[in-house]
Amino acid sequence: MPGTTTTGNRRRNEERTAMVQLEIENQRPRRWNPLFKWRKYLKIFGSVFLIILACGAVAYASTAAIWYFFEEHLVTPDNSTTSRPKASSRTVTRATRRPTTTVSRHSLTSIEPIEESSPYHPIQERPGPFRIVGFYDSWSKYEIRGRQLQKLTHVIFSALDMNSAGTLSFHDYGIRKKFIDLVEMSKRVNPSLKIMFSIAEYAYASNFEAVVADPEKKKTLCNSIASLIQTHRIDGVDLFWKWPTKVENRDLFVLLLRDIRQKLNSISDSDHQYILSVVLPNFDWPDFKLSLDLNGIMEQVDFINVRTINYYGFWNSQWGAYTGPPSPLYSGLGAYGDSNVNWTITHYMNETGAPGKLNMGVPFFGAHWENVEGPIGVKEEMWFTAKAKTGEETFEGEYIPWREMEGWNLSAAKWHQESRCPFIWLPDERKFLGFENQRSLKEKMKYALEKSLGGITIWSVEMDDDSDTLLNSVQV
């Protein structure tokens, strides 16, 4: 029967097709099967990954856009400079480790004519409480905290870039963010805190010499300072030229300070007096006497941060690297006899007759040396020499922030009465640590108050531990 045959053929055909399919299935290598099983999950993972990637791209793009927008459009660029500032070359000094990033940045200056006719008024000493000024290093891996800001009268953000045209800017996005955060937090936790920023020659502002010598550049700098202060509603600027050792710069530095002073006066009103300060060195070598007009500077600034730190470090002398505390209050040996805080401060007081304008620098760090040899001169466990690495000029040692001293047994430290400082000497390991602690800081505070100094300046606040151990030792 044709119908039956057709049906039978169809069924056979279907069976054959099914068998062929089964064979094909069977012939597929078994190792593929797990993949099929997991394909669903792989798809999900893939999608999630793509979504994350897309979110990242959007976040990056918007951050870049905001950054660009702020830099280029919200702040009027200064058209007196033709090119964008280049990352200023920085000299790594022995004092602090520096960041190594060189990210390009943009101008922050707005144009504002300088009032050439504004009269010059010598600045009166600022009446007020004992100043506790804290430098805050923006390149530090530690951030300043609100409780620390409550224990300061002034905070100085260190540091902004100054290019060779005198234009100020933030070195990179991270530093700008730290600055914005500092300003925001300061206003929230301590409304009476004075917020300043530093222009530091050894950090991002190696162009002091070019700027002081050129009226246009000075004008740009003055406008840039005023613009920054007004934009962020902060209180002032600190200049840290390390150091003007050329005689030609003696008057130029004072004139620069005078111009900045005039600019600050021109934007001041009865509610807002802006602050100008400088950092000056801890001793007076012959060049320095000729190149710094101390009294000329004094007339322009509100206060001087005397850098009474780093008396001893890993540099060469005729004896090698001379160990000692970073900031001895008194004493010293041989050629270092005057290398102490008392000598420096007495000298500044003698020269200026204005202790109320002087801030005494205090370190929140120590200095450690390796390869330390025998004591110098008399047998006293403070002054040693350290040997350089064989065949090299560099010494092994480093500056250690107070909060990083956990590797040293601080309770085993000895007290050196002459210098009023603690130290640790490990003869077996030939290691020496000179540092500052609660006791030495209390001695320094007593000294500063006895001499009627205007205050102290801390290098730098973020080096303190989480319990504010050192900051609590310098409260009045």
In total, the chain counts a number of residues equal to 476
Binding segment for ligand NAG (CB under 6 A), chosen from 44-52, 169-177, 221-229, 407-415, is 407-415
* Whole-angstrom distance, CA of residue 64 vs CA of residue 306: 40
Contact with ligand NAG (CB under 6 A) among 101, 104, 317, 409: 409
The 88-117 site mask, x for binding ligand NAG (CB under 6 A), equals -----------------------x------
**Does 350 sit near ligand NAG (CB under 6 A)?**
yes
Contact with ligand NAG (CB under 6 A) among 139, 197, 311, 343: 343
- Phi first, then psi: give them for residue 447, nearest 5 degrees: -60, -50
**Does 80 sit near ligand NAG (CB under 6 A)?**
yes
Contact with ligand NAG (CB under 6 A) among 104, 231, 295, 346: 346
Residue nearer to ligand NAG on the CB measure, 171 or 219: 219
**Does 412 sit near ligand NAG (CB under 6 A)?**
yes
C-alpha distance from residue 232 to each of 50, 107, 181 (Å): 40, 15, 11
**Does 79 sit near ligand NAG (CB under 6 A)?**
yes
**Does 347 sit near ligand NAG (CB under 6 A)?**
yes
CB 305 within 8 A of CB 457: yes
Binding segment for ligand NAG (CB under 6 A), chosen from 154-162, 247-255, 339-347, 384-392, is 339-347
Cβ 412 to ligand NAG, closest distance in Å? 3
Residue nearer to ligand NAG on the CB measure, 196 or 226: 226
Cβ 137 to ligand NAG, closest distance in Å? 30
CB 247 within 8 A of CB 291: yes
Residue nearer to ligand NAG on the CB measure, 274 or 336: 336
Residue nearer to ligand NAG on the CB measure, 94 or 439: 439
CB 333 within 8 A of CB 416: no
Helix (H) or strand (E) run with residue 276 in it = strand 275-280
Pairing of strands 303-306, 421-426: unpaired
* Whole-angstrom distance, CA of residue 261 vs CA of residue 276: 7
Binding segment for ligand NAG (CB under 6 A), chosen from 117-125, 161-169, 185-193, 404-412, is 404-412
Binding segment for ligand NAG (CB under 6 A), chosen from 194-202, 234-242, 352-360, 405-413, is 405-413
Residue nearer to ligand NAG on the CB measure, 79 or 124: 79
Contact with ligand NAG (CB under 6 A) among 411, 428, 429, 450: 411
Helix (H) or strand (E) run with residue 13 in it = helix 2-27
Judged on CB neighbours under 10 Å (0-12, 13-18, 19+), 122 is: exposed
Cβ 339 to ligand NAG, closest distance in Å? 12
Size of the site for ligand NAG (CB under 6 A): 12
CA dihedral 264, 357, 95, 474 (to 10 degrees): -120
The 427-446 site mask, x for binding ligand NAG (CB under 6 A), equals --------------------
Range 37-41 contact pairs with CB under 8 angstroms and sequence separation of 24 or more? none
Residue nearer to ligand NAG on the CB measure, 321 or 445: 445
Range 182-188 contact pairs with CB under 8 angstroms and sequence separation of 24 or more? 182/136, 182/144, 182/155, 182/157, 183/232, 183/233, 183/234, 185/144, 185/146, 185/149, 186/149, 186/155, 187/233, 188/146
Cβ 338 to ligand NAG, closest distance in Å? 7
Helix pair angle (341-352, 438-450), 10° resolution: 20
* Whole-angstrom distance, CA of residue 141 vs CA of residue 156: 17
Q: What angle do CA 301, 303, 309 make, to 5 degrees?
A: 125
* Whole-angstrom distance, CA of residue 291 vs CA of residue 288: 5
Cβ 343 to ligand NAG, closest distance in Å? 5
Q: Facing residues of 452 across strands?
A: none
The 298-337 site mask, x for binding ligand NAG (CB under 6 A), equals --------------------------------x-------
Cβ 346 to ligand NAG, closest distance in Å? 4
* Whole-angstrom distance, CA of residue 111 vs CA of residue 427: 61
Residue nearer to ligand NAG on the CB measure, 78 or 161: 78
Please report, as ranges, the residues that interact with ligand NAG according to CB under 6 A. Answer: 79-80, 111, 330, 342-343, 346-347, 350, 409, 411-412
